[in-house]
Amino acid sequence: MALALTYSTSHTLVRMRLAAFRHALKDQFRLSWIVTGGFVGLVLAGGTIWVAARGDNDVLVVVLAVWMLGWVVGPLFAGGGDETLKPEYFTMMPLPPRTLSTGLLVAALAGVAPVISLIALLSLVIAGGNVVAALVAVPALLLQLFCFILASRLAVAVYGVLLQVRAGAVIAAIVNAFILAFTAQGWALIVAFVSTDVQGTLAKGARIAPSGWGLVAVEAAGRGDWLEVLAALAGLVVLGVLMLLAWSALLVRRTTASRAGGKVRRSLSGTDPRSGAAAKELRSWTRDLLYGHKAVFAISYGLFFCMMPLALGWKAMLPWAGPAAVVMAAAMSANLYGADGTALWTTLMTPGANGPDVRARQRAFLLVFGPITLAITLLLTWWSGYASAWPLVLSVLPALLGGAAGLVVASSVYAAVPTTDAHKRSGNPLNSGENEGETMGIVYVMLVLVASTCAPALIVALNVGWWGVPIGVLSGVLAWWYFGRLAIRRLDKKGPELLTLLRHGRSPAEQAKKTAGLDALPKWKRTAAGFCLGFAAIPLFPQAVVPAIFKLTGNDDTRSWFLALYQTGPWQWVVIVLMAALGLSMYAFGGLTYYRAKKRAPGGSVAAVAG
C-alpha cells in the first residue's frame, strides 16, 4: 500500500513538474536562461567525458567533486534552486513525509540539470576500461546522480533553517561569499596548492568524498576487487537513504513549524517623515534576516575576493576589497522596492512620503555600507604597502557609494521584480517567487552600472593622482541626488502601477506584450543576444579592464589568466583593446537586439512595455 502511494505520488508530481517546465518554455526570458545554462552545462559535461577518455582518473575524480559541489552550492545562488513544486503546496494532503520527499526527489529528475549531470556521469562508463567495469558504472552513476540531487535538496533545507536565526544567516552568508569568491579567484589557491605538489592529495581526498565513490567502484571492478565494489555502492545507497531521511525530517519542520510574530522591542523614534522613514529603513537592515544576510555576504565577498591572492603573496588587490564590497552590495539590493512587496502600500497612502522614503533608503544604504567599506579600504590599503593605490581607491570609493545608493533606488522602481511578501515567505527563505531569472538579470546589470559610476574619478586619479578624490566625491553626490530624484518622480507618477505589479505580478496580456517583439525574432538571434549579454563581461572586465589597470599602475609581476599580460611589448595593449572591443560589441549586439525587439512590440515604446 505504501509503495503504491509512493508510486502514485511520484507519478503525479513528475507530471506536474513537466507541465510547469512546458509552461516555462513559453516565457522567452526564462527560455533564454534555460538555453544558455543548458549550453554551458553540455560544454562542461563534454569536458568531463574528455577527461575520462584521456584516462586520467585522478583529474576525473576531482572534476566529479566539483560537479557535486556545484549541486550543493549552485541553488544557494539561484534563489533556493528550482522549487516549482514547493512542499507547502501539499501541506493539507494526507501524505507521509517520506512519501512526499521521495515524490519530490523523483520529480526533481525531470529537469535540464539532472540530464546534463547524467551525461557528465557517463564518464564513469568510459573510465572503466573494460566491459565488466562499464556494467558496474551503470548503477554507480545512477546512485551518484541521486546523491547529487539529494545533497542539493538537503543543502537548501539546512540553509533555510540557518536563515531563520541571526547567527545562522551570518554563517551562511560568509560561506556563500567564500564559495562565490572562489569561483572567480580560486585560481590563486589552486596555483598555491599545485606549487606545493599536493595534486595527489587532492585526488585522494576526492576519492574519499562521496562524489568519488562511484569512480572507486568502477576502478575496483576493473581490478576485480568485488568487495570494494560492494562497499562503494553500498556506501552510496546508505548515504542516499540517510540524506532522504534527513530531508524528510526538515520538510516536516518546514511545513508544520509555527511562525510566531516577533515581539516589538522598541517603537520607532522618528518625529517627522524623514526621521521616521530613516528609522524604519535601518530597522529593516538590522532585523530582517535576509537584509542582514545580504549585507554580510557583500562585505565578506569583497574581502575574500581580494584576499585570496594572498596565497601567492600578491597584495595588489587588497586596496580594492572595499570597492568590491560596495558593488556587490548594490547588486544584491537592486530590487529594494520589489522585496518590500505590498508593504509599498503604506508609503503610497501617506501624502508626501515618496521623497522621504527614497532618501531614507539611500541614507540607510550609506550608513550600513559606508563606514565599514571605508575602514576596510584604509586598513587593507595600508597593509598592501602600495602607496600608488591611495589616490585610486580614495577616488573610487565615494563615487561607488554615491552611485550605488542612487542606482539601488532607481533600479528598484524602474525595473522592480515581483517577489514573495516578507510575511508570506515559505520555509525556504531563498525562494522569493517565480521571477528568479529576471532578478538575477538585474543583479548582473547592476554590477556593470555601479562599477561604471567610478569611471570619471578613476580616469582622473590615474592621470593626475589626488585630484581624483574631489571628482569621486562630486560624482558620488551627483549620482546619489540625480538617481534618487528619478526614483521619486517615478514613484509619484507610477506608484499605483508599481504596487499593482508587486501585488499581482504581470498579467498574461502584459507578459505577451513584453515578449511580443522577442517572439518575432529568429531563435538563433534571441539565443545569440542572450549569450552575448551573459558572457560579454568576461572579455571586457577580466581580459581588458583589469590588465589595463595593472599596466597603468606598473604591476608587471602578475599574469594569472589575463591573456594580454602573456604578450610582449605593445602587443599587450593590442590584446587589451581587442578584448575591450569584443566585450563592448557583445553588449551592444545583445542590448540593441532586445531594445529593437521591444520597440517593435505593441505599444510602440520601451517605456510602454516596461511599465
DSSP characters for 281-346? Answer: HHHHHHH-HHHHHHHHHHHHHHHHHHHGGGGGT--TTGGGHHHHHHHHHHHHTTTHHHHHGGGHHH
Q: What grid cell was written down for 35?
A: 538555453
The pLDDT value given to residue 403: 93
pLDDT given at position 110: 77
Average of per-residue pLDDT across 355-371: 91
CA distances from 1 to 5, 91, 241 (A): 6, 21, 20
Q: Which three cell numbers stand for residue 273?
A: 517623515
pLDDT, position 105: 77
What are the pLDDT digits (tens) for 499-515? 888 777 666 555 555 55
- Co-location of 492 and 479 in the same domain: yes
Query: Within a domain: residue 90?
Result: yes
With bands split at pLDDT 50, 70 and 90, how would you rate the model's confidence at 605?
very low
* Residues 217 and 357 occupy one common structural domain: no
Judged by average pLDDT, the poorest of 36-50, 128-142, 513-527 is 513-527
371, 384: one domain: yes
Based on the structure, what is the number of domains in the chain? Answer: 3
Note whether 285 and 178 are same-domain residues. Answer: no
Same domain flag for 512 and 568 = yes
- Residue 404 belongs to some domain of the structure: yes
Cell of 281: 529603513
What is the rounded average pLDDT for all residues in the chain? 79
Q: Are 343 and 447 members of one domain?
A: yes
Q: Taking the complete model, does pTM exceed 0.75, yes or no? A: no
Residue after which a domain boundary falls, among 451, 471, 505: 505
For residue 247, the model assigns a pLDDT of: 80
Bigger pLDDT: 264 vs 185: 185
Domain identity same for 12 and 115? yes
Q: In percent, how much of the chain has pLDDT > 90?
A: 18
247 and 286 together in one domain: no
575: pLDDT strictly greater than 80: yes
Instruction: Give yes or no for residue 427 having a pLDDT over 70.
Output: no
pLDDT at 517: 57
pLDDT of residue 379: 94
pLDDT-derived band at 553 (thresholds 50, 70, 90) equals low
241 and 296 co-located in one domain = no
pLDDT at 82: 60
User: Which pLDDT value is given to residue 151?
Assistant: 87
Percent of the chain with pLDDT over 70: 78
Q: Is the model's pLDDT at 97 over the cut of 90?
A: no
What is the model's pLDDT at position 606?
A: 35
392/314 same-domain check:
yes
Query: Where in 106-258 does DSSP place strands (E)?
Result: none
**Could you give the CA distance from residue 174 to residue 298 in angstroms, rounded to a whole number?**
9
Q: How far is CA 365 from CA 170, 274, 286, 326, 485, in A?
A: 18, 15, 12, 10, 16
Q: What is the mean pLDDT of residues 294-310?
A: 88
Q: 289 or 215: whose pLDDT is higher?
A: 215
Is the four-CA dihedral 252, 258, 259, 262 of positive or negative sign? negative
Q: In which band, very low, low, confident or very high, does the pLDDT at 604 lie, cut at 50, 70 and 90?
A: very low
The mean per-residue pLDDT over the stretch 563-575 comes to 81
Residue that wins the pLDDT comparison between 178 and 409:
409
Q: 472 vs 2, which has greater pLDDT?
A: 472
For range 133-138, the mean pLDDT: 90
Taking 80 as the threshold, does the pLDDT of residue 85 lie above it? no
pLDDT exceeds 90 at position 570: no
Q: Rounded to an integer, what distance in angstroms lies between the CA atom of residue 233 and that of residue 230?
A: 5
Q: Which domain holds residue 546?
A: 506-611
pLDDT at 402: 94
> Mean pLDDT over residues 543-556, rounded?
71
Same domain, 583 and 600: yes
Residue ending a domain, among 256, 289, 306, is 256
- Mean pLDDT, residues 271-293 taken together: 76
Give the tens place of pLDDT for each residue, 188-232: 666 665 555 455 666 777 788 888 899 999 989 988 888 999 999
What distance separates the 2 farthest-apart alpha carbons in the chain? 80
Q: Are residues 194 and 247 in the same domain?
A: yes
The answer to whether residue 9 sits within a structural domain is yes
Per-residue pLDDT at 609: 33
Q: How many CB atoms lie within 10 A of CB 263?
A: 5
Assigned domain for 376 exists: yes
Of 475, 505, 535, the one marking the end of a domain is 505
Q: Which of 377-381, 403-407, 500-504 has the lowest mean pLDDT?
A: 500-504
307 domain-assigned: yes
Among 65-79, 197-211, 228-242, 424-438, the least confident range: 424-438
As a residue count, the chain comes to 611
